[in-house]
Amino acid sequence: MTAPQPDDNAQKPYDEIIDLIVDYAYDYEIVSEAAWARSKLALIDSLGVAIESLVKSKECAALVKPSLPGAGFIAYGFKLPGTGYSMDMLQGAFSMGAMIRYLDHNDAFPGAEWGHPSDNLGAILVTADVITRDALARGSHSEVITMKQVLTALIKTYEIQGVFQIKNAFNKVGLDHTILVKIASTALISWLMGLSREQARAAVSHAWVDGHPLRIFRQAPNAGPRKGWAAGDACMRAVHLANLARAGQPGIRTPLTAERWGFYHVLNKGSEFNLPPRGFGSWVAENVIFKVLTAEGHGLTAVEATMAAARELREKTDHASIKGIEGGYDPVRDIESIRVRTQEAAMIIINKRGPLHNAADRDHCLRYMMAVVLLKGGAEVETEDYQDDSPWATDARVEALRGVISMEEDVQFTRDYHDPEVRSCGSSIEILLKDGTVISTRQDFPLGHMVRNEETVPLVRQKAVRNLELRFPKGDVEHIMRVVEGPEFEDLPASNFMDLFERR
């Protein structure tokens, strides 16, 4: 009988990228006080927008219901915030990820690719909650996952996703950015599960090999609600792949670099990834952009500039200071044209013309956002304004204003967007009125830019409280905020924290 031959693959080293990711996930010590503080803000902001999605989107509420009758409660399962459901890990990860992302109101990070690091929390919170419930039920307190470990996983998934985004544009090869959610979450879920380093490498290797979604569902004419649940899908895959590695499935050693069959050759036009020389740290969590307004990230500055211009226009017309204008504020009547100058990324993602078929279409159309703000007299565009039942969705005045808005790239805005020393997301608008008056405004950094705007922390805190109060009594929300901001938060078992969001 012939003796079994050794597995040559098992002797090969993994692709260097896999080692870098896993070593960072398992070894890096977070010492930045800014990263710890901002991770708490990111956590509560994400849970707030999850509740907002559940309450304000019928589509999302229907999507996260149990798939089978009687499957709404599983002993020691994941308690989906704002509901009475206790779910298995895979459905829980999908549902939590979808709720955080559905209304495009969670945090963001720009680079050659734009993404939303808090998408990873769908996988992190589910894993931490379920493992901790099981450990407590067995009396194994050494296996309990604390909120410090949750925050650690948050900071590190933010970093992995963000560092890849800085110089690698997956959209340019037609792939969706949620590939990075899958990669980052798989690494940190492996760590939270207590997998060996070899098992983590195996899991991450499969994450690279996994089928990756096309970006088509974010772009006209195919933009649709899948962009709201794509992150949940990535979270679910990350949990599944880590579980497969835990079950003993071996890894694939060269998923990126293999000739002909590897990721670089098949999906990345033959190019290797370009990573910054500083490597992984905690910089992304320190510099993430929070969405104070409900607008696609690249359009935040243009929307804020439009709000300022609309208020100026309303003031001028209300005081009859514009010659020939009577009857008060009327942007459709008074505006001749609007010129928008912005970054290249906005031109690719939110430069939409033609019919808008659904909420996903509308919140990826800068012209729609600006038109609604102008018609509201400078008030911010809100979640409800994008929905199919919103009066703005069928308002002929919105279409009239969309028709007079032109968009073009400003090369300097693009340079500043990519410059690591600036990292702005600038836009300027110029409104020409029919009497010849010009109103110009410019915004380089959105309100939620943590580093550039000192108002960010109180604004994001207010946003979180407002969203949580959509589902929970004011007193419960005050208690949640005290817990998150309290001195003992990091020692709290993850399941105790998730219990705070159970609908009673």
Whether residue 6 is preceded by a cis peptide bond, meaning omega within 30 degrees of 0, is no
Mean pLDDT of 303-324: 76
Who's near 500: CB < 8 A, 6+ residues apart?
Answer: 476, 479, 480, 483
Mean pLDDT of 3-19: 74
Please state the pTM of the whole predicted model.
0.86
Q: What does pLDDT average to over the chain?
A: 91
pLDDT of residue 488: 96
- Domain ranges within the chain, ordered by starting residue: 8-287, 297-443
Homologous superfamily of the 297-443 domain (CATH): 2-methylcitrate dehydratase PrpD (3.30.1330.120)
Q: 62-84 b/e with 16+ CB inside 10 Å = b?
A: ebbebeeeeebebebbbbbbbbe
**Partners of 440 in the β-ladder:** 430
Q: Do 242 and 190 meet the contact criterion of CB atoms below 8 Å apart?
A: yes
Q: Coil, strand, or helix at residue 79?
A: strand
Rounded-to-integer distance, Cα 17 and Cα 23, Å? 10
Mean pLDDT of 176-182: 97
User: What confidence tier does 326 reach under pLDDT thresholds 50, 70, 90?
Assistant: low
pLDDT of residue 409: 96
CA angle centred on 24, ends 23 and 27, rounded to 5°: 75
Rounded-to-integer distance, Cα 448 and Cα 439, Å? 24
Summarize pLDDT for 128-169 with one digit per residue, the tens: 999 999 999 999 999 999 999 999 999 999 999 999 999 999
Q: Does the pLDDT of residue 319 top 70, yes or no?
A: no
pLDDT of residue 54: 97
The percent of residues above 90 in pLDDT, for the chain, comes to 73
pLDDT of residue 10: 60
Rounded-to-integer distance, Cα 247 and Cα 250, Å? 9
Residue found by looking up tokens 């003993």 in the block: 248
Stated length of the chain: 504
pLDDT of residue 412: 95
Q: Does the pLDDT of residue 4 top 50, yes or no?
A: no
Domain range 8-287, its CATH number among 1.10.4100.10, 3.30.420.40, 3.90.550.10, 2.60.120.560: 1.10.4100.10
**Partners of 340 in the β-ladder:** 407, 429
Rounded-to-integer distance, Cα 28 and Cα 23, Å? 8
Rounded-to-integer distance, Cα 211 and Cα 266, Å? 12
pLDDT of residue 74: 80
Largest CA distance in the chain: 100
Summarize pLDDT for 236-259 with one digit per residue, the tens: 999 999 999 999 999 999 999 999
Could you tell me the two tokens for 422?
């600036």
**Partners of 337 in the β-ladder:** 432
Could you tell me the two tokens for 212?
């990756």
